[in-house]
Amino acid sequence: MRFHFSPKTPLLSLSSSSITSLCLRPFLPSAPKSHFYPSLACHVSTGGNLRMDSTSPDPSSSSSVSVDSVADGLKNQSLREHDISNNNNNMNNENKKNNGKLSLEDLNWDHSFVRELPGDPRNDSIPRQVFHACYTKVLPSAEVENPKLVAWSDSVADLLDLDPKEFGRPDFPLKFSGASPLAGAVPYAQCYGGHQFGTWAGQLGDGRAITLGEIMNSKLERWELQLKGAGKTPYSRFADGLAVLRSSIREFLCSEAMHFLGIPTTRALCLVTTGKFVTRDMFYDGNPKDEPGAVVCRVSQSFLRFGSYQIHASRGGEDLGIVRSLADYAIRHHFPHIENMSKSESLSFSTGDNDQSVVDLTSNKYAAWTVEIAERTASLVARWQGVGFTHGVLNTDNMSILGLTIDYGPFGFLDAFDPSYTPNVTDLPGRRYCFANQPDIGLWNIAQFASTLMTANLISDQEANYAMERYGTKFMDDYQAILSQKLGLQKYNKQLVNKLLSNLAVDKVDYTNFFRALSNIKADPSIPGDELLVPLKAVLLDMGKERKEAWTSWVQTYIQELVASGVSDEERKASMNSVNPKYVLRNYLCQSAIDAAEMGDLEEVRRLLKVMERPYDEQPGMEKYAHLPPAWAYRPGVCMLSCSS
């Protein structure tokens, strides 16, 4: 059967405009057209003008390493493949000393992906189509000289049971740049495909990410470790397999910032420089620039994406069986409650008013799985909208089956509220991935995923439609709950929210600071009209009489709602401040840290991480990190970015 990636049936039971129209579309200055954007991959320069970086003073660096000897060492290690199955959950007493914190050598590796799924018989990195396989074993190969540890996350180390003292080891940067093997790792690159900007792009795969394996922690959680920027793989296509410090700082910081905002995300253990330069074409002047190379160690329960399934369905034939194996794998390890779903549980749903048919999720685990992925995705997108996060490249290869934020490329948090904001210059012509379009795009992507599973005969079209319906319902439920919490109200008030978003857009008010300031409003209807805006004066700037009146009218209605809710001002302020962050990772903050790091000063990255670890706390002394972007932030490459990284 041929695989059609047209979004045909899927976008049916829920009209694609319904989600956005309920929340943001009315406020779009010009509603973006999302579909049929020309096929555009990211601009990634090939070639690498490599030279040494000898400026950074980090004492943890060690002398240069021959890439050949490193590669040989890694190959031997890979060939020596230890007994994987015995490794699973095998925490010996030795490992438990030091409060259960482990050294790198004692990490408890498992390799279920490699063990349970079909692999590529070849293990070279020559770019090619890899058929009938989910991965290729390939060793990190980025050239490294004098690598340095830029930043690390104690909180991620904790997830892995890793002793944080290990970050101080002199050989740590070597191991996490891929130059020196990590004992127990079995490195591989994953094969996946994807829709880029609405067009099927065929095989993509880990072109510069190399998974080391999975670590089982003492809670029996599985955490996959992946080096991003560690060198070429068969999936590198025309590019160099490398990453630059600029984009690696952004990915490292934002993964952690999102986690501490409470938003599901892949994590980052550490960031090291390779000591080599990498050439990238700058989108704003077309000129190549040498930038420091870097590697981020990403951590996630799984890096499976929608595209991990799409690629095999697109190939049809025997590869359709791989879609099923990959689905079974994901359910077994990451959705065990679905595997254990009891037939006695009632999980039947009517598919609509005019449709008497019923979807019974207990009769098909793949349908239950699809519904859960749809709901997790909906919930994720609702949270993005809540904090004003714009991902920037919501291609299907950047959609996690676990509902995590994945791939921090040209992302941006809203400063001035603008529903049509996209941080990605590649996206400017159609604004397919702008802030207001994210809910629709999430649905479009779910449609592609469901259609993939239909092609592999894992779910019916009725089940696919049901999953999409659930996406819509879950998105609206979560979005409304989040907006209500942001306003400190128990009930969603559609008119109040619509009017507020409209006001924010008209006056280009800072999204984060507005909601933080809003908790200063008192539920006191006797406050005179000309004083109502006093608590908001720091965020409602330069306003004429007419706009002041519009805001005063909104605040009056808001106060009526607060009075009706009966919650005390103190209680409401505390609860609002627990959902309205004071600090988000604005692009200009990232850029300041990048500029300093490129000059050899790594402290700003580390400081920024600490601030972003407590986004809801006031953090006296750190207020400058909540300031609006300065004028320089509007230069190209700061608030507007490309995928070139």
Ligand X SMILES: Nc1ncnc2c1ncn2[C@@H]1O[C@H](COP(=O)(O)OP(=O)(O)OP(=O)(O)O)[C@@H](O)[C@H]1O
Please, which residue, 204 or 536, has the CB nearer to ligand X? 204
To the nearest whole angstrom, how small is the minimum distance from the Cβ of residue 475 to ligand X? Answer: 23
Half-sphere exposure of 445 (CA within 13 A, CB side): 33
* Active-site position among 53, 106, 397, 510: 397
Backbone dihedral angles phi then psi of residue 269, each to the nearest 5 degrees: -80, -45
Query: Out of 256, 407, 427, 507, which residue is the one contacting ligand X (CB under 6 A)?
Result: 407
Q: Does 44 bind ligand X (CB under 6 A)?
A: yes
Q: Considering beta carbons, is residue 412 or 488 the nearer one to ligand X? A: 412
Find the binding residues for ligand X in span 14-43 (CB under 6 A). 42
Of 95, 398, 424, 484, the one binding ligand X by CB under 6 A: 398
Binding track over 185-224 against ligand X, x by CB under 6 A: -------------------xxxxxx---------------
Q: Is 83 part of the annotated catalytic residue set?
A: no
Q: What share of the chain is helix, strand, coil (3-state, %, to 5)?
A: 40, 15, 45
- The whole-angstrom separation of Cα 604 and Cα 601 is 7
CB of 409 to ligand X, least distance (A): 5
| 254 contacts ligand X (rule: CB under 6 A) | no
CA atoms of 296 and 245, how far apart (whole Å):
9
Is the Cβ of residue 240 or residue 604 nearer to ligand X in the bound state? 240
Both structure tokens of 279:
């050439």
Residue 305 CB, nearest approach to ligand X (Å): 7
Q: Tell me which residues in 513-572 interact with ligand X (CB under 6 A).
A: none
- Cβ(368)–Cβ(362) under 8 Å? yes
CB of 72 to ligand X, least distance (A): 23
CB of 282 to ligand X, least distance (A): 15
**Rounded Cα gap, residues 84 and 115, in angstroms:** 8
Closest among 589, 593, 623 to 606, alpha carbons compared: 593
**Cβ-based nearer residue to ligand X, 216 or 643:** 643
Three-class DSSP category at 357: strand
Judged by DSSP in three states, 383 sits in helix
Is position 392 an interface residue for ligand X (rule: CB under 6 A)?
no
CA 326-351-309 angle, 5° bins: 15
Min CB(645)–ligand X separation in Å: 6
User: Per-residue x/- marks for ligand X, 83-102, CB under 6 A?
Assistant: --------------------
Residue 288 makes CB contacts below 8 A (sequence gap 6+) with 45, 49, 279, 280, 281, 282
- Tell me, residue by residue from 219 to 248, as one string, x for binding to ligand X by CB under 6 A and - for no binding: ----------------xx--xxxx------
- E strands within 458-567? none
Structure tokens at 354: 């005019």
3-class SS letters over 170-191: CCHHHHHCCCCCCCCCCCEEEC
Residue of closest CB approach to ligand X: 207
Chain centroid to Cα 577, Å, comes to 24
304 versus 459: smaller Cβ distance to ligand X = 304
Identify which of residues 298 and 586 has a Cβ nearer to ligand X in the complex: 298
**Cα(216)–Cα(220) distance, rounded to whole angstroms?**
5
Least distance in angstroms from the C-beta of 398 to ligand X: 5
CA 350, CA 411: separation in Å to the nearest integer?
A: 38
Active site residues: 397
The residues that touch ligand X, with contacts defined as CB under 6 A, are 42, 44, 204-209, 235-236, 239-242, 397-398, 407, 409, 643
